[in-house]
Amino acid sequence: MATIQKLENRAVMESEPSDDPEALKRELAALRKAHARQEAQILSATRSMDAMLRQVEEQRNKLEDTNSRLSALNEFVNRVTDQMGDALILIGENGTIELVNRKLCSTLGYRIEDLKGKPVEVLLLDDEVKALSADLPELPWEITSVVYETVVRKGEYVGELHLKSSASDNELGYFLVHGTVIYSKQGKQEGVVLVASDIDDIKERQEALEVAQTKAEEATQAKSEFLANMSHELRTPLNAIIGFSDAIQEEIFGSLENKHYLDYIGHINKAGSHLLAIINDILDLSKIEAGKMELHLETQQLDQLTGSTVTLMAQQAEEKDITLIHAVPDNFPAVVLDSIRFKQVLINLMSNAIKFTGGGGEVALSVGLLGENCYEIIVEDNGIGIAATDIEKIMSPFGQVEAAHSRSIEGTGLGLPLTNRLIEMHGGHLFIESTPGVGTKVSVCLPLDPEADFSCGLRKNTALQSEKIAF
């Protein structure tokens, strides 16, 4: 603008006319156009600058807002990590500690600055570091952190480790450590995070339980051995008592002048036989608990085994006017079992049914197939029955129900527990269904061959509308 004004002033002040006034006018016009373009450029640049300044201001505001949110998020994350119930350790790519939370510091007695930048291995026992190193494959480069490499190579680490405290005696804490790798959005490894749960109390309780279990097993073993030894010691004189009483009852060496003695001898013989049966049950149960009882499995015809059992129990049933029912399907397949031990099972179940059934009642022993590989033996009576809440009690050794109607019935409470254990040894299950005042149904589900690779499982209850308890 100043240049144009000078040219105009010069044109006015010159007294002589210009050699070429038209040229001067053209120059003036060109200068004015250039000036106009320059002014437009300056205005455009000014507007662009204003827009850029506004954008910069907006970006600055956004950055401040982002920083504020990041700061708030960082504070939130710090609060979360500090309030965690587990210790947290963040390890950088160089294997040094970048972050620990308050839980670790309070548990082990460190300050954050004591650990930040230190190798994470300072918290571990040398033996445990060596054990972790031994599990790592050989690598072509030097390992800066065994812990970091362990987590990275495995993708995840879960193990029990001791962490050293800051105390001078390096008191140890026992932790369950879970390590995972931290990845960026691009999939790059950025570090490893360890979450360590203090399990000192759990380990102490576990060790105490193990000690208690060991003592209980030792006590059980000692009890079983004691019972077995005592049973052997008692069986010898009892066999003599029973044998001599049999001889006197039969009057082998001549008649007794006073026949009352025969009654006495009969009572002695009966009591001795009962006591011997109890001792045999104790001895068998002790053998099973000690793991010393073995089954001698053979192929058997089940109808013969159940038939001989019913015949054996006939006299006991007849004394109470109880009807025995025996039902086995024709052409029933052969089964594999220990005939002596399984007959013991059948006798115990039949004896219990007769014992708890009143005069004029019925006890039935029946057999049926359960699919292709299993079969079922059922002993059912219409006796006094038992409440479902009492069934677990009678399944425990020496367990008895002290009901008014059962107090007069003798028994030790060993029959059913022993029976159940023998059934389990044959790969079977025992089920009890009972309704007080209606009767009891005991079902035994067994595989045709206990050594075959299958299980009979638990059958559906399609019988009485009463609660069924499985063992």
pLDDT of residue 8: 52
pLDDT at 463: 34
Model pLDDT, residue 379: 94
Bridge partner list, 174: 162
Answer for the pair 443, 368: CB distance below 8 angstroms, yes or no: no
Q: What are 142's two structure tokens?
A: 């030097």
How many residues are listed for the chain in this entry? 471
The ranges of the chain with pLDDT < 50 are 11-12, 14-17, 403-407, 458-468, 470-471
How would you list the strands of the sheet with 87-91, edge to edge?
97-100, 87-91, 189-198, 172-183, 156-164
As a whole number of angstroms, the longest Cα–Cα distance in the chain is 189
* Residue percentage of the chain with pLDDT more than 90: 14
Q: Are 338 and 298 in contact (CB under 8 A)?
A: yes
Check residue 468 and give its pLDDT: 47
Distance of CA 196 to the CA centre of its chain: 21
Predicted structure pTM score: 0.49
For residues 362 and 440, what is the distance between their CA atoms, to the nearest angstrom? 11
DSSP single-letter state for residue 169: T
The C-alpha atoms of residue 216 and residue 233 are separated, in whole angstroms, by 25
> How does DSSP classify residue 134?
H
What residue spans of 181-300 are helical by DSSP H?
200-249, 260-289
Q: Extract the runs of DSSP E, i.e. beta strands, from 4-107.
A: 87-91, 97-100
pLDDT the model gives residue 292: 72
Helix segments in 320-372, DSSP class H: 339-355
- pLDDT for the residue numbered 3: 53
